[in-house]
Amino acid sequence: MKDSCFISFITPVYNEEQNIANMLRNLHKVLAENPQWDWETIIIEDGSSDKTRAVILEEAKKYPRARLILHDQNKGYTTSLKDGIAAARGQYLMYVGADEEFDCSELPQFVRPLHDREADVVLGVRWQRNAYKLFRFFLSVIYIFTLNYLFKMRINDYNWSQAWSKELLDRIELRSRSLFVLPEIIIKAHDLKYRIKEVPSNHRGRYWGKSSVNIRIMGFALIEALKFWRFRRSRKYRPDARPASVIKTAEFARQ
C-alpha cells in the first residue's frame, strides 16, 4: 500500500459474552500489525440479555480507539449495523461479525483492493461452509440463487463480511429492516456502476453459542427481497436516493 487510509470497522453485538473478548483481541491484533492503516473500531452493543455489555465495557478499556454505541433495548442486527454506518468517520467501512466465525487475519485482503483503487465494494465469499448444518446450507444456497435470479447478478455470497467505500454509502438510502440490508448495498452499488470484487474467505464456525439465523429470519429477508425487486422495477426507483435528513443537512450547508 502506498499511503495510509482511514477505515472504520463496524461490529454489531448481541448475546456474545463468550465470543466478543477474543474477537476484539484478534481484530485489534491485526490492526496493530498494519500501521499503514488509520482506523477506528465501532462496537454496537444491542441490548444483550446476557453479560455481553459488561464484557465489552471492560474490554474497551484496552482499546482507546474503540468507539461504543450502547442500545438500552434490543433493536436488531439491521438497526445496529445502520447505526454503526451512520457513526463511521472512515474513508472506507468494513462489517466484521462478533461471533468469531470470521478470521480477522483476512482483513488485509478486504482492505487492499479498496485502498489500491481496484474496487469500491469487497465481498467475502465462503466457498466452503463446513460449519453449517445441512438445513442452513440449503437455505443459504436457495437464498443466493433467488437473489441472483431476481436481480440478474452473479454474486457468490451476499451476507458475509463486506467492505465499502464511504462515498457509496453516502449516496444510498438503506430501506431494509432484515438481513437483506447487505444485499441491498450490493445491488445498489451494482446499479450505480461501482466496482465489486469478491475475495475468498474462510468460514470457521462458532466456538461458543449458536447462530440466531433461522427460517423465520431468512423468510423475512426473502420477503424484503421480493418487495425490493418489485420496487426496483418501478419508475420510482433511484439507487442513489438519500435520506431526507442527509439532503436537508447538505442544503443547510450550502446556504
pLDDT-based confidence at 127, cuts 50/70/90? Answer: confident
pLDDT digits (tens, 9 = 90+) for 134-190: 666 677 788 899 999 999 999 999 999 999 999 999 999 999 999 999 999 999 999
Residue pair 131/205 in contact (Cβ under 8 Å)? The answer is yes
**Where does 211-253 show beta strands of DSSP type E?**
none
Number of C-beta neighbours around residue 8 at 10 A: 22
Per the structure, the complete domain to which residue 76 belongs is given by 5-254
User: How confident is the prediction for the chain on average, in pLDDT?
Assistant: 89
Q: Say how far apart CA 136 and CA 139 lie, in whole Å.
A: 5
107 falls in which pLDDT band (50, 70, 90)? very high
| DSSP state string for 26-75 | HHHHHHHT-TTEEEEEEEEEE--SSSHHHHHHHHGGG-TTEEEEEESS--
pTM of the model: 0.88
Q: Percent of the chain having pLDDT more than 70?
A: 85
CA distance 197 to 31: 22
- Residue 238 C-alpha cell reads as 433511484
Number of domains present in the structure of the chain: 1
pLDDT (average), residues 215-223: 85
How far from the centroid of its chain's Cα atoms is residue 65's Cα? 20
For residue 182 the three cell numbers come to 447487505
Give me the pLDDT at residue 180, please.
96
Nearest to 211 by CA among 77, 74, 59, 56: 77
DSSP 163: E
Distance (Å) of CA 144 to CA 42, 84, 105, 221? 28, 25, 26, 12
Please give the pLDDT value at position 136: 67
- For residue range 25-71, what is the model confidence (pLDDT) as tens digits? 999 999 999 999 999 999 999 999 999 999 999 999 999 999 999 99
Nearest Cα to Cα of residue 196 among 206, 183, 209, 210: 183
* pLDDT at residue 252 in the model: 29
Q: How big is the chain, counted in residues?
A: 255
The DSSP secondary-structure symbol of 118 reads S
CATH of the domain at 62: 3.90.550.10
Other beta carbons within 10 angstroms of residue 47's beta carbon come to 16
pLDDT at 219 (0 to 100) = 83
* Long-range interactions of 31-34: CB distance < 8 A, separation 24+: 31/107, 34/107, 34/108, 34/111
CA distance 128 to 103: 14
8 Å CB contact between 71 and 44:
yes
